[in-house]
Chain A
Protein backbone atom coordinates (compact mmCIF):
# COMPACT_ATOMS: atom_id res chain seq x y z
CA UNK A 1 0.00 0.00 0.00
CA UNK A 2 1.40 3.38 -1.04
CA UNK A 3 -0.22 5.93 1.18
CA UNK A 4 0.88 9.44 1.98
CA UNK A 5 1.88 8.32 5.47
CA UNK A 6 4.42 5.80 4.22
CA UNK A 7 5.66 7.97 1.36
CA UNK A 8 6.13 10.86 3.77
CA UNK A 9 4.19 13.33 1.59
CA UNK A 10 1.99 15.88 3.35
CA UNK A 11 -1.67 16.03 2.37
CA UNK A 12 -2.89 19.25 0.76
CA UNK A 13 -6.36 19.38 2.25
CA UNK A 14 -7.26 22.66 0.47
CA UNK A 15 -6.71 21.34 -3.08
CA UNK A 16 -9.77 21.64 -5.33
CA UNK A 17 -8.90 20.05 -8.66
CA UNK A 18 -10.91 17.86 -11.02
CA UNK A 19 -11.06 14.92 -8.58
CA UNK A 20 -12.33 17.10 -5.75
CA UNK A 21 -14.97 18.65 -8.05
CA UNK A 22 -16.27 15.15 -8.85
CA UNK A 23 -16.06 13.89 -5.25
CA UNK A 24 -17.94 16.96 -4.01
CA UNK A 25 -20.63 16.58 -6.70
CA UNK A 26 -21.01 12.84 -6.03
CA UNK A 27 -21.06 13.46 -2.27
CA UNK A 28 -23.73 16.16 -2.56
CA UNK A 29 -25.91 14.03 -4.85
CA UNK A 30 -25.50 11.00 -2.58
CA UNK A 31 -26.35 13.03 0.52
CA UNK A 32 -29.46 14.36 -1.24
CA UNK A 33 -30.65 10.94 -2.44
CA UNK A 34 -30.14 9.16 0.90
CA UNK A 35 -31.68 12.06 2.87
CA UNK A 36 -34.65 12.11 0.53
CA UNK A 37 -35.08 8.33 0.84
CA UNK A 38 -35.11 8.58 4.66
CA UNK A 39 -37.16 11.78 4.92
CA UNK A 40 -40.16 9.93 6.27
CA UNK A 41 -38.50 9.82 9.72
CA UNK A 42 -39.25 13.22 11.30
CA UNK A 43 -38.82 13.83 15.02
CA UNK A 44 -42.25 14.77 16.38
CA UNK A 45 -42.30 18.08 18.24
CA UNK A 46 -38.82 19.24 17.20
CA UNK A 47 -38.61 22.30 14.98
CA UNK A 48 -37.17 21.78 11.52
CA UNK A 49 -35.39 18.55 12.48
CA UNK A 50 -35.51 15.14 10.81
CA UNK A 51 -33.70 11.85 11.55
CA UNK A 52 -31.05 11.52 8.87
CA UNK A 53 -28.66 8.57 8.62
CA UNK A 54 -27.26 10.42 5.59
CA UNK A 55 -25.55 13.02 7.84
CA UNK A 56 -22.57 10.69 7.96
CA UNK A 57 -21.96 11.29 4.23
CA UNK A 58 -20.62 14.89 4.49
CA UNK A 59 -18.60 13.85 7.55
CA UNK A 60 -17.06 10.91 5.71
CA UNK A 61 -16.41 12.89 2.51
CA UNK A 62 -14.73 15.55 4.67
CA UNK A 63 -12.48 12.95 6.33
CA UNK A 64 -11.65 11.24 3.03
CA UNK A 65 -11.31 14.21 0.66
CA UNK A 66 -10.80 17.36 2.71
CA UNK A 67 -12.75 20.33 4.08
CA UNK A 68 -13.88 21.89 0.78
CA UNK A 69 -15.37 18.59 -0.43
CA UNK A 70 -16.93 18.00 3.01
CA UNK A 71 -18.47 21.47 3.09
CA UNK A 72 -19.90 21.27 -0.45
CA UNK A 73 -21.24 17.76 0.21
CA UNK A 74 -23.18 19.01 3.24
CA UNK A 75 -24.17 22.43 1.92
CA UNK A 76 -25.16 21.56 -1.66
CA UNK A 77 -26.45 18.11 -0.63
CA UNK A 78 -28.85 19.65 1.87
CA UNK A 79 -30.08 22.16 -0.73
CA UNK A 80 -30.67 19.32 -3.21
CA UNK A 81 -32.39 17.13 -0.61
CA UNK A 82 -34.75 19.98 0.32
CA UNK A 83 -35.39 20.61 -3.36
CA UNK A 84 -36.21 16.95 -4.01
CA UNK A 85 -38.60 16.92 -1.07
CA UNK A 86 -40.09 20.28 -2.09
CA UNK A 87 -39.21 22.17 1.14
CA UNK A 88 -37.58 25.18 -0.57
CA UNK A 89 -34.32 26.79 0.62
CA UNK A 90 -33.36 27.15 4.28
CA UNK A 91 -29.94 28.74 3.91
CA UNK A 92 -28.87 28.65 7.57
CA UNK A 93 -29.59 24.89 7.87
CA UNK A 94 -27.73 24.36 4.57
CA UNK A 95 -24.72 26.19 6.03
CA UNK A 96 -24.97 24.14 9.23
CA UNK A 97 -24.86 20.94 7.19
CA UNK A 98 -21.85 22.31 5.30
CA UNK A 99 -20.00 22.89 8.59
CA UNK A 100 -20.74 19.26 9.59
CA UNK A 101 -18.59 18.24 6.62
CA UNK A 102 -16.05 21.05 6.89
CA UNK A 103 -14.84 20.31 10.44
CA UNK A 104 -14.13 16.58 9.81
CA UNK A 105 -12.38 17.79 6.65
CA UNK A 106 -9.95 19.81 8.75
CA UNK A 107 -9.08 16.60 10.62
CA UNK A 108 -8.32 14.86 7.32
CA UNK A 109 -4.83 16.37 7.43
CA UNK A 110 -4.08 14.09 10.40
CA UNK A 111 -5.64 10.93 8.98
CA UNK A 112 -3.59 8.69 6.67
CA UNK A 113 -4.61 5.11 7.32
CA UNK A 114 -8.37 4.97 7.63
CA UNK A 115 -8.71 1.74 9.63
CA UNK A 116 -6.18 2.69 12.33
CA UNK A 117 -7.51 3.16 15.86
CA UNK A 118 -6.01 6.65 16.07
CA UNK A 119 -7.62 7.71 12.80
CA UNK A 120 -11.02 6.40 13.86
CA UNK A 121 -10.70 8.21 17.19
CA UNK A 122 -9.84 11.46 15.39
CA UNK A 123 -12.80 10.88 13.08
CA UNK A 124 -15.13 10.47 16.07
CA UNK A 125 -13.82 13.68 17.68
CA UNK A 126 -14.37 15.52 14.41
CA UNK A 127 -17.96 14.21 14.26
CA UNK A 128 -18.78 15.63 17.70
CA UNK A 129 -17.12 18.98 16.95
CA UNK A 130 -18.57 19.24 13.44
CA UNK A 131 -22.12 18.43 14.51
CA UNK A 132 -21.89 20.72 17.55
CA UNK A 133 -20.65 23.70 15.51
CA UNK A 134 -22.84 23.06 12.47
CA UNK A 135 -26.07 22.57 14.40
CA UNK A 136 -25.23 25.45 16.76
CA UNK A 137 -24.83 27.75 13.75
CA UNK A 138 -28.13 26.61 12.23
CA UNK A 139 -30.01 26.69 15.54
CA UNK A 140 -28.73 30.10 16.64
CA UNK A 141 -29.84 31.52 13.30
CA UNK A 142 -33.41 30.61 14.36
CA UNK A 143 -33.08 33.36 17.03
CA UNK A 144 -32.52 35.85 14.24
CA UNK A 145 -35.23 34.42 11.98
CA UNK A 146 -38.02 33.41 14.34
CA UNK A 147 -37.18 35.49 17.44
CA UNK A 148 -36.94 32.46 19.74
CA UNK A 149 -35.07 32.73 23.04
CA UNK A 150 -31.91 30.78 23.80
CA UNK A 151 -33.73 28.07 25.81
CA UNK A 152 -36.09 27.30 22.94
CA UNK A 153 -33.23 27.29 20.48
CA UNK A 154 -31.27 24.86 22.65
CA UNK A 155 -34.13 22.49 23.50
CA UNK A 156 -36.29 22.63 20.35
CA UNK A 157 -33.63 23.06 17.66
CA UNK A 158 -30.09 22.33 18.78
CA UNK A 159 -30.42 19.30 21.06
CA UNK A 160 -32.72 17.17 18.84
CA UNK A 161 -30.51 17.86 15.82
CA UNK A 162 -27.24 17.43 17.73
CA UNK A 163 -28.16 14.17 19.48
CA UNK A 164 -29.53 12.38 16.42
CA UNK A 165 -26.79 13.57 14.05
CA UNK A 166 -23.97 12.79 16.46
CA UNK A 167 -25.36 9.28 17.06
CA UNK A 168 -25.55 8.52 13.33
CA UNK A 169 -22.08 9.98 12.82
CA UNK A 170 -20.40 8.18 15.72
CA UNK A 171 -21.80 4.77 14.77
CA UNK A 172 -21.59 4.91 10.96
CA UNK A 173 -18.38 6.90 10.36
CA UNK A 174 -15.96 4.19 11.62
CA UNK A 175 -17.76 1.58 9.47
CA UNK A 176 -17.39 3.78 6.38
CA UNK A 177 -13.74 4.52 7.21
CA UNK A 178 -12.89 0.81 7.52
CA UNK A 179 -14.71 0.06 4.25
CA UNK A 180 -12.87 2.91 2.52
CA UNK A 181 -9.52 1.68 3.87
CA UNK A 182 -10.15 -1.61 2.04
CA UNK A 183 -10.81 0.27 -1.21
CA UNK A 184 -7.71 2.44 -0.77
CA UNK A 185 -5.61 -0.68 -0.14
CA UNK A 186 -7.07 -2.54 -3.12
CA UNK A 187 -6.71 0.27 -5.61
CA UNK A 188 -3.40 1.59 -4.26
CA UNK A 189 -4.63 5.21 -3.95
Chain B
Protein backbone atom coordinates (compact mmCIF):
# COMPACT_ATOMS: atom_id res chain seq x y z
CA UNK B 1 0.00 0.00 0.00
CA UNK B 2 1.54 3.25 -1.11
CA UNK B 3 0.40 6.48 0.48
CA UNK B 4 0.76 9.49 -1.74
CA UNK B 5 -0.10 13.00 -0.61
CA UNK B 6 -2.44 14.74 -2.99
CA UNK B 7 -0.25 17.86 -3.14
CA UNK B 8 1.83 18.73 -6.18
CA UNK B 9 3.34 22.02 -7.23
CA UNK B 10 1.26 23.62 -10.00
CA UNK B 11 2.81 27.10 -10.07
CA UNK B 12 -0.68 28.44 -9.38
CA UNK B 13 -1.36 31.72 -7.54
CA UNK B 14 -2.28 29.56 -4.50
CA UNK B 15 1.24 28.08 -4.44
CA UNK B 16 2.59 31.58 -3.77
CA UNK B 17 0.24 32.41 -0.88
CA UNK B 18 1.58 31.93 2.65
CA UNK B 19 -0.17 28.97 4.37
CA UNK B 20 -0.89 31.17 7.42
CA UNK B 21 -2.80 33.65 5.25
CA UNK B 22 -4.62 30.73 3.64
CA UNK B 23 -5.79 29.29 6.95
CA UNK B 24 -6.88 32.73 8.21
CA UNK B 25 -8.86 33.28 4.99
CA UNK B 26 -10.42 29.79 5.12
CA UNK B 27 -11.61 30.26 8.70
CA UNK B 28 -12.93 33.74 7.84
CA UNK B 29 -15.04 32.13 5.07
CA UNK B 30 -16.20 29.39 7.46
CA UNK B 31 -17.37 31.88 10.11
CA UNK B 32 -18.81 34.32 7.57
CA UNK B 33 -20.84 31.58 5.87
CA UNK B 34 -22.14 30.16 9.14
CA UNK B 35 -23.05 33.52 10.71
CA UNK B 36 -26.08 34.20 8.55
CA UNK B 37 -28.82 32.69 6.37
CA UNK B 38 -29.30 35.96 4.48
CA UNK B 39 -29.28 35.05 0.75
CA UNK B 40 -27.36 38.15 -0.39
CA UNK B 41 -24.54 37.68 2.10
CA UNK B 42 -24.38 33.92 1.39
CA UNK B 43 -24.20 34.62 -2.34
CA UNK B 44 -21.37 37.14 -1.85
CA UNK B 45 -19.42 34.65 0.32
CA UNK B 46 -20.08 31.91 -2.26
CA UNK B 47 -18.64 34.08 -5.07
CA UNK B 48 -15.57 34.86 -2.95
CA UNK B 49 -15.09 31.11 -2.28
CA UNK B 50 -15.35 30.26 -6.00
CA UNK B 51 -12.75 32.93 -6.83
CA UNK B 52 -10.48 31.56 -4.10
CA UNK B 53 -10.87 28.00 -5.39
CA UNK B 54 -9.99 29.07 -8.94
CA UNK B 55 -6.64 30.37 -7.66
CA UNK B 56 -5.59 26.76 -6.98
CA UNK B 57 -5.93 25.74 -10.67
CA UNK B 58 -7.16 22.32 -9.59
CA UNK B 59 -8.47 19.96 -12.22
CA UNK B 60 -11.54 17.74 -11.89
CA UNK B 61 -9.23 14.71 -12.11
CA UNK B 62 -7.30 15.96 -9.05
CA UNK B 63 -10.29 16.50 -6.80
CA UNK B 64 -13.02 14.17 -8.07
CA UNK B 65 -12.82 11.76 -5.10
CA UNK B 66 -13.23 14.62 -2.63
CA UNK B 67 -16.15 16.08 -4.59
CA UNK B 68 -17.74 12.65 -4.84
CA UNK B 69 -17.77 12.40 -1.03
CA UNK B 70 -19.07 15.95 -0.68
CA UNK B 71 -21.82 15.16 -3.23
CA UNK B 72 -22.96 12.22 -1.08
CA UNK B 73 -23.03 14.52 1.95
CA UNK B 74 -24.88 17.27 0.05
CA UNK B 75 -27.40 14.78 -1.36
CA UNK B 76 -28.20 13.49 2.14
CA UNK B 77 -28.29 16.97 3.66
CA UNK B 78 -30.21 18.80 0.94
CA UNK B 79 -32.23 16.30 -1.10
CA UNK B 80 -33.11 13.81 1.64
CA UNK B 81 -33.16 15.96 4.79
CA UNK B 82 -34.38 19.30 3.43
CA UNK B 83 -36.42 18.65 0.26
CA UNK B 84 -37.90 15.19 0.95
CA UNK B 85 -38.31 14.95 4.73
CA UNK B 86 -38.02 18.63 5.67
CA UNK B 87 -36.07 17.89 8.86
CA UNK B 88 -32.93 19.51 7.50
CA UNK B 89 -34.75 22.83 7.33
CA UNK B 90 -36.63 22.45 10.61
CA UNK B 91 -34.10 24.41 12.62
CA UNK B 92 -34.40 27.52 10.42
CA UNK B 93 -37.52 27.56 8.21
CA UNK B 94 -40.76 28.19 10.12
CA UNK B 95 -43.56 25.64 9.55
CA UNK B 96 -46.19 26.35 6.90
CA UNK B 97 -45.59 28.42 3.76
CA UNK B 98 -46.51 28.34 0.07
CA UNK B 99 -46.68 24.88 -1.49
CA UNK B 100 -44.72 24.33 -4.70
CA UNK B 101 -47.41 21.94 -5.98
CA UNK B 102 -50.64 22.97 -4.19
CA UNK B 103 -52.67 20.34 -6.10
CA UNK B 104 -50.13 17.56 -5.60
CA UNK B 105 -48.19 15.75 -8.33
CA UNK B 106 -48.85 12.69 -10.44
CA UNK B 107 -45.96 10.20 -10.14
CA UNK B 108 -46.28 6.82 -11.91
CA UNK B 109 -50.04 7.29 -12.07
CA UNK B 110 -50.32 7.99 -8.34
CA UNK B 111 -51.46 11.32 -6.94
CA UNK B 112 -48.96 12.44 -4.26
CA UNK B 113 -49.02 15.40 -1.90
CA UNK B 114 -45.34 16.14 -1.32
CA UNK B 115 -45.77 19.11 0.99
CA UNK B 116 -42.66 20.82 -0.40
CA UNK B 117 -42.86 24.56 0.18
CA UNK B 118 -41.27 27.42 -1.77
CA UNK B 119 -39.52 28.50 1.41
CA UNK B 120 -38.00 25.05 1.95
CA UNK B 121 -36.81 24.94 -1.63
CA UNK B 122 -35.10 28.33 -1.19
CA UNK B 123 -33.55 27.08 2.01
CA UNK B 124 -32.07 24.17 0.01
CA UNK B 125 -30.47 26.75 -2.33
CA UNK B 126 -29.12 28.71 0.68
CA UNK B 127 -27.81 25.50 2.25
CA UNK B 128 -26.11 24.61 -1.03
CA UNK B 129 -24.39 28.02 -1.18
CA UNK B 130 -23.27 27.78 2.46
CA UNK B 131 -21.90 24.22 2.35
CA UNK B 132 -20.28 24.70 -1.06
CA UNK B 133 -18.55 27.90 0.16
CA UNK B 134 -17.06 25.99 3.10
CA UNK B 135 -16.20 22.95 0.95
CA UNK B 136 -14.55 25.05 -1.77
CA UNK B 137 -12.04 26.68 0.60
CA UNK B 138 -11.28 23.61 2.70
CA UNK B 139 -11.28 20.81 0.13
CA UNK B 140 -8.42 22.44 -1.78
CA UNK B 141 -6.01 22.56 1.18
CA UNK B 142 -4.60 18.99 0.86
CA UNK B 143 -4.16 19.45 -2.89
CA UNK B 144 -2.44 22.83 -2.75
CA UNK B 145 -0.42 22.82 0.49
CA UNK B 146 2.93 21.10 0.87
CA UNK B 147 2.80 18.56 3.73
CA UNK B 148 6.16 19.93 5.01
CA UNK B 149 4.47 23.26 5.73
CA UNK B 150 1.86 22.16 8.30
CA UNK B 151 4.10 22.01 11.39
CA UNK B 152 5.73 25.39 10.84
CA UNK B 153 2.40 26.97 9.82
CA UNK B 154 0.66 26.00 13.04
CA UNK B 155 3.74 26.84 15.09
CA UNK B 156 3.84 30.35 13.58
CA UNK B 157 0.07 30.68 14.11
CA UNK B 158 0.69 30.27 17.83
CA UNK B 159 0.41 26.52 18.50
CA UNK B 160 2.97 25.36 21.13
CA UNK B 161 6.13 23.86 19.59
CA UNK B 162 5.51 20.36 20.94
CA UNK B 163 2.02 20.24 19.44
CA UNK B 164 3.20 21.64 16.10
CA UNK B 165 6.03 19.10 16.07
CA UNK B 166 3.58 16.28 16.84
CA UNK B 167 1.65 17.27 13.73
CA UNK B 168 4.83 17.44 11.66
CA UNK B 169 5.97 14.04 12.95
CA UNK B 170 2.64 12.37 12.22
CA UNK B 171 2.95 13.41 8.56
CA UNK B 172 6.37 11.75 8.45
CA UNK B 173 5.11 8.49 10.00
CA UNK B 174 2.28 7.93 7.55
CA UNK B 175 4.25 6.26 4.69
CA UNK B 176 6.07 3.96 7.16
CA UNK B 177 2.88 2.93 8.95
CA UNK B 178 1.04 2.38 5.66
CA UNK B 179 3.86 0.05 4.61
CA UNK B 180 3.67 -1.81 7.95
CA UNK B 181 -0.10 -2.10 7.54
CA UNK B 182 0.31 -3.65 4.09
CA UNK B 183 3.07 -6.05 5.28
CA UNK B 184 0.87 -7.18 8.21
CA UNK B 185 -2.16 -7.59 5.94
CA UNK B 186 -0.12 -9.71 3.50
CA UNK B 187 1.35 -11.80 6.33
CA UNK B 188 -2.09 -12.45 7.85
CA UNK B 189 -3.56 -13.29 4.44
CA UNK B 190 -0.77 -15.82 3.95
CA UNK B 191 -2.08 -17.44 7.17
CA UNK B 192 -5.62 -17.59 5.76
CA UNK B 193 -6.94 -14.34 7.22
CA UNK B 194 -9.86 -12.81 5.32
CA UNK B 195 -10.99 -9.31 6.18
CA UNK B 196 -14.40 -9.59 4.56
CA UNK B 197 -15.14 -13.23 5.20
CA UNK B 198 -18.75 -12.25 5.99
CA UNK B 199 -19.24 -15.04 8.58
CA UNK B 200 -20.95 -14.74 11.95
CA UNK B 201 -22.88 -11.99 13.71
CA UNK B 202 -21.88 -8.33 13.94
CA UNK B 203 -19.62 -8.85 16.99
CA UNK B 204 -17.77 -11.70 15.25
CA UNK B 205 -17.40 -9.56 12.14
CA UNK B 206 -15.90 -6.72 14.20
CA UNK B 207 -13.51 -9.16 15.92
CA UNK B 208 -12.29 -10.26 12.48
CA UNK B 209 -10.44 -6.94 12.24
CA UNK B 210 -8.39 -7.70 15.38
CA UNK B 211 -5.69 -9.92 13.74
CA UNK B 212 -4.87 -6.97 11.53
CA UNK B 213 -5.31 -4.08 13.96
CA UNK B 214 -3.43 -5.53 16.96
CA UNK B 215 -0.04 -6.28 15.34
CA UNK B 216 -0.06 -2.94 13.50
CA UNK B 217 -0.88 -0.98 16.68
CA UNK B 218 1.52 -2.87 18.96
CA UNK B 219 4.40 -2.64 16.47
CA UNK B 220 3.83 1.10 16.21
CA UNK B 221 3.91 1.50 20.01
CA UNK B 222 7.06 -0.60 20.42
CA UNK B 223 8.92 1.32 17.69
CA UNK B 224 7.89 4.68 19.15
CA UNK B 225 10.03 3.95 22.25
CA UNK B 226 13.18 3.97 20.08
CA UNK B 227 12.14 7.18 18.36
CA UNK B 228 11.48 8.92 21.68
CA UNK B 229 14.87 7.81 23.02
CA UNK B 230 16.63 9.06 19.88
CA UNK B 231 14.85 12.42 20.21
CA UNK B 232 15.79 12.70 23.88
CA UNK B 233 19.44 11.96 23.03
CA UNK B 234 19.37 14.83 20.54
CA UNK B 235 18.00 17.19 23.20
CA UNK B 236 14.42 17.50 21.93
CA UNK B 237 12.44 20.23 23.69
CA UNK B 238 15.43 21.83 25.42
CA UNK B 239 15.09 25.13 23.56
CA UNK B 240 12.86 26.77 20.97
CA UNK B 241 12.68 24.73 17.81
CA UNK B 242 13.77 25.94 14.39
CA UNK B 243 12.08 24.70 11.21
CA UNK B 244 13.73 23.59 7.98
CA UNK B 245 10.78 24.84 5.92
CA UNK B 246 10.61 28.63 6.26
CA UNK B 247 7.62 30.89 5.78
CA UNK B 248 7.79 34.53 4.73
CA UNK B 249 4.90 36.95 4.35
CA UNK B 250 4.65 38.89 1.07
CA UNK B 251 2.54 42.03 0.56
CA UNK B 252 -0.29 39.97 -0.98
CA UNK B 253 -0.44 37.77 2.13
CA UNK B 254 -1.07 40.85 4.27
CA UNK B 255 -3.72 41.94 1.76
CA UNK B 256 -5.44 38.53 2.05
CA UNK B 257 -5.37 38.70 5.85
CA UNK B 258 -6.78 42.26 5.77
CA UNK B 259 -9.50 41.14 3.34
CA UNK B 260 -10.36 38.14 5.58
CA UNK B 261 -10.75 40.38 8.63
CA UNK B 262 -12.80 42.89 6.64
CA UNK B 263 -15.06 40.14 5.23
CA UNK B 264 -15.73 38.62 8.65
CA UNK B 265 -16.25 42.01 10.33
CA UNK B 266 -18.69 43.11 7.59
CA UNK B 267 -20.66 39.87 7.85
CA UNK B 268 -20.88 40.14 11.64
CA UNK B 269 -21.89 43.80 11.41
CA UNK B 270 -24.61 43.11 8.83
CA UNK B 271 -25.84 40.04 10.67
CA UNK B 272 -26.03 41.44 14.19
CA UNK B 273 -26.15 45.25 13.83
CA UNK B 274 -28.41 45.41 10.75
CA UNK B 275 -30.42 42.30 11.62
CA UNK B 276 -29.53 40.36 8.45
CA UNK B 277 -28.85 37.11 10.28
CA UNK B 278 -32.13 35.27 9.77
CA UNK B 279 -33.41 33.23 6.86
CA UNK B 280 -35.43 35.15 4.30
CA UNK B 281 -36.83 34.37 0.84
CA UNK B 282 -36.38 36.94 -1.96
CA UNK B 283 -39.58 38.16 -3.68
CA UNK B 284 -38.41 37.08 -7.14
CA UNK B 285 -38.23 33.48 -5.90
CA UNK B 286 -41.98 33.49 -5.08
CA UNK B 287 -42.59 34.88 -8.59
CA UNK B 288 -41.13 31.70 -10.12
CA UNK B 289 -43.88 29.58 -8.54
CA UNK B 290 -46.95 31.77 -9.23
CB of B217 within 8 A of CB of A145, answer no
Residue of A nearest to B66 (CB): A86
Of B110-118, B123-131, B250-258, B259-267, the one contacting chain A is: B123-131
Of B13-21, B99-107, B207-215, B281-289, the one contacting chain A is: B207-215
For B269, the chain A residues whose CB sits under 8 A away are none
Residue of B nearest to A143 (CB): B91
Please report the C-alpha to C-alpha distance between residue A76 and residue B209 in the assembled complex, in whole angstroms: 23
Q: How far is the CB of B38 from chain A (nearest CB, A)?
A: 13
- 27 CB contacts below 8 A, A to B, read A17-B237, A22-B224, A22-B231, A29-B174, A30-B220, A33-B3, A60-B217, A72-B163, A77-B170, A80-B171, A83-B141, A84-B5, A86-B69, A88-B135, A88-B139, A88-B141, A90-B138, A146-B77, A147-B88, A147-B123, A148-B77, A148-B91, A149-B88, A152-B81, A175-B207, A179-B217, A183-B222
For A24, the chain B residues whose CB sits under 8 A away are 166, 170
Within 8 A of A (CB), among B195-213: 202-203, 206-207, 209-210, 213
Majority secondary structure of chain A interface residues (helix, strand, loop or mixed): helix
In this complex, which of A29, A143, A155 has the most chain B Cβ atoms within 10 angstroms of its Cβ? A29
Please report the C-alpha to C-alpha distance between residue A90 and residue B69 in the assembled complex, in whole angstroms: 12
Q: How far is the CB of B183 from chain A (nearest CB, A)?
A: 12
In this complex, which of A86, A175, A180 has the most chain B Cβ atoms within 10 angstroms of its Cβ? A86
Chain A: residues with Cβ within 8 Å of the partner, total of: 66
Residue B1 at the chain A interface, CB threshold 8 Å = yes
For B48, the chain A residues whose CB sits under 8 A away are none
CB of A22 within 8 A of CB of B227, answer yes
Q: How far is the CB of A21 from chain B (nearest CB, A)?
A: 5
| Chain A window 164-177, contacts with chain B (Cβ cutoff 8 Å), 1 for yes, 0 for no | 00011001100110
Residue A45 at the chain B interface, CB threshold 8 Å = yes
CB of A37 within 8 A of CB of B65, answer no
Chain B: residues with Cβ within 8 Å of the partner, total of: 76
Residue A185 at the chain B interface, CB threshold 8 Å = no
| Chain B window 34-67, contacts with chain A (Cβ cutoff 8 Å), 1 for yes, 0 for no | 1001000000000000000000000000010110
Q: How far is the CB of B100 from chain A (nearest CB, A)?
A: 19
For B127, the chain A residues whose CB sits under 8 A away are 146-147
CB of A175 within 8 A of CB of B87, answer no
Residue A23 at the chain B interface, CB threshold 8 Å = yes
CB of B221 within 8 A of CB of A180, answer yes
Known contacts A25-B169, A85-B65, A147-B89; A32 and B206 CB within 8 A of each other: no
Q: How far is the CB of A48 from chain B (nearest CB, A)?
A: 5
Partner of A149 from the list B91, B139, B221 (CB cut-off 8 Å) is B91
Residue A4 at the chain B interface, CB threshold 8 Å = no
Partner of B87 from the list A19, A25, A36, A152 (CB cut-off 8 Å) is A152
Residue positions of B touching A, CB distance < 8 A:
1, 3, 5-6, 26, 30, 34, 37, 63, 65-66, 69-70, 72-73, 76-77, 80-81, 85, 87-92, 123, 127, 130-131, 134-135, 138-143, 162-163, 165-167, 169-174, 177-178, 181, 202-203, 206-207, 209-210, 213-214, 216-218, 220-225, 227-228, 231-232, 236-237, 279
Known contacts A146-B130, A148-B88, A167-B206; A89 and B173 CB within 8 A of each other: no
For B134, the chain A residues whose CB sits under 8 A away are 145
Partner of A53 from the list B90, B91, B142, B213 (CB cut-off 8 Å) is B213
In this complex, which of B34, B63, B170 has the most chain A Cβ atoms within 10 angstroms of its Cβ? B170
For B69, the chain A residues whose CB sits under 8 A away are 85-87
For A112, the chain B residues whose CB sits under 8 A away are none
Please report the C-alpha to C-alpha distance between residue A187 and residue B172 in the assembled complex, in whole angstroms: 26
Residue of A nearest to B63 (CB): A86
Please report the C-alpha to C-alpha distance between residue A73 and residue B164 in the assembled complex, in whole angstroms: 13
Partner of A18 from the list B81, B210, B228, B279 (CB cut-off 8 Å) is B228
| Chain A window 28-60, contacts with chain B (Cβ cutoff 8 Å), 1 for yes, 0 for no | 111011101100001001111000011011001
For B222, the chain A residues whose CB sits under 8 A away are 183, 187
CB of A18 within 8 A of CB of B174, answer no
Please report the C-alpha to C-alpha distance between residue A183 and residue B225 in the assembled complex, in whole angstroms: 12
